[in-house]
Chains A and B, each alone.
Chain A
Amino acid sequence: MNDAARSPLSFRDPARARRLLDALAHLCAGRESDPLALMHVCGSHEQAIARFGLRDVLPKGLDLFMGPGCPVCVTDAPEIDEAVRLARAGIRVTTYGDMLRVPGSDVSLAELGGEGAPVEVVYSVAQAVELARTSDEEWVFFSTGFETTAVATAAVLLDDPPANFSVLSAHKYIPPAMEIVLEMPGSRVEGFLAAGHAATITGWGVFEPFVARHGRPVVVAGFEPLDILAGLVELARLARAGEARVVNAFPRCVTREGNRRAQDQLWRVFERVGGRWRGIARVPNGNLRLRPEWSAWDARRRHASVLSGRVARAALPARAPCRCGEIMAGLARPTDCALFGRECQPHQPVGACMVSSEGTCRIWHQYGGRPDLGDAE
């Protein structure tokens, strides 16, 4: 355990935290043998839950899972393979840092960069565009992330991008993945906690069709520990009462309509298509791809000759299987995996969930099991 884990941030209002925990315990009473199963879908939520030690103080009658909320983790190996092929062909590839070490079928981008291939990390797609403007070479931005990050990609394409720049989109759209998780055999999820800042863009109204179809409540919550606890109390209340509706528990940031200007940009550039999410399943409408009118900036079309044809996949080494998929579906916890903390560690990850700072396994490994409600009392 590291220093940060030993000195957690204190709750700003310990009395309120205690009241919320009491309310949660009351709502989950009697479910000890069949815990109420709730799922959040955001790496930042899991970071906050882990670093503030919330999981240790949740009632026994509540199981809180992190779902497919790590965009890096659900980027499928063939998508990474595409970026690898482009870099191997000498095309300059930029991407977000978390993507580098995620294994493809053959190698990761980091391993390829170690061999001298032209791979660079950027923090923003705007930096990727600036790099492309510095030379006449071909530049591809391997773009990952959910709606919130896809909006940034859309904005640069709508702002006169250079002709030598294109986008390899692995962007994902979260609402359809929530449906897939519910439809998985063995799924017990009774309600979802949605991420506040993503809903800033989409608005909380985006979850209404999901709630109508599946009869499960959704609560939008912020990232402060008190925001998360308040969101969980509301979600547990709705789930216990059988009330399937969307509640916005983060009104200081999220509206029903969201940011219409951002949505307009997002859907002018991207369309929803079905595709595989790593470790989970094929998700109908879960992938964001560039619309045909953007083909000049779509790396899959612009560099079709490099990306065409199949590649022989390296056989995976025999070892206890990585359980990332089950973990992201809420069917297992990191501690249920035989590799967790043994063969699979942050400096030597087996699965993508141990690579990304938003991956469930990485977060659990970083913060450990740390009972620290002492700070709230």
Chain B
Amino acid sequence: MCLGVPGRVIEVKGWIATVDFFGVQRQVSLQVVDEPVAPGDYVLNHVGFAIRRIPEDEIGETLALYEQLIELAERDDLMAEDVRGELAATKSGGGAE
């Protein structure tokens, strides 16, 4: 429950953002994040809520761990399992699943 998951914002409607997580679109709440969020931004998400907007120059470094974990998604691995749980905490978005 400590590990947030980063994703790229596709669309913002009120307090709900549609976010792309490694090719899967999901919806997260923007109630908690403390900066304005716009399409193209990256946000760090935790249990269905964006908790931080990730500055642009930090995106590459932030994504590295997760890209590897997502590749392990089918394996029996505790960290990958937690990342899957984090994604399941978001709502299915309107776009491609």
Contact = CB atoms under 8 A, between A and B. Distances in A.
A145 B72 CA distance: 25
Interface of A: 2-4, 9, 12, 42-45, 47-48, 51, 69, 71, 96-98, 123-127, 145-146, 148-149, 151-152, 155, 158-159, 195, 197-198, 200-201, 223-224, 252-253, 259-262, 265, 357-358, 362-363, 366-367
Contacts of A224: 64-65
Contact of A152 (B2, B48, B58, B81): B48
Contact of B82 (A146, A149, A357): A357
Contacts of A9: 65, 68-69, 72
Interface residues of B, number: 41
Contacts of A197: 2-4, 44, 46, 51
A170 B2 CA distance: 16
A123 B87 CA distance: 9
Q: With a 10 A CB-CB cut-off, give which of B2, B48, B68, B82 has the most chain A CB atoms.
A: B2
Contacts of B89: 123-124, 126-127
A252 B76 contact: no
Interface in B38-97: 44, 46-49, 51-52, 54-55, 58, 61-62, 64-65, 68-69, 72, 75-82, 85-86, 88-91
B79 A261 contact: no
Given A195-B2, A252-B58, A358-B2, A126 B48 contact: yes
Contact of B32 (A48, A151, A358, A362): A151
Contact of B52 (A51, A126, A253, A357): A253
Given A4-B75, A69-B2, A126-B48, 7 more contacts: A96-B1, A158-B31, A253-B58, A262-B33, A262-B51, A358-B1, A358-B2
A43 B48 CA distance: 19
> When A and B form their complex, which 6 residue pairs have the shortest distance between CB atoms, in order from nearest?
A124-B48, A124-B89, A123-B89, A4-B77, A44-B2, A261-B34
Contact of B31 (A98, A124, A155): A155
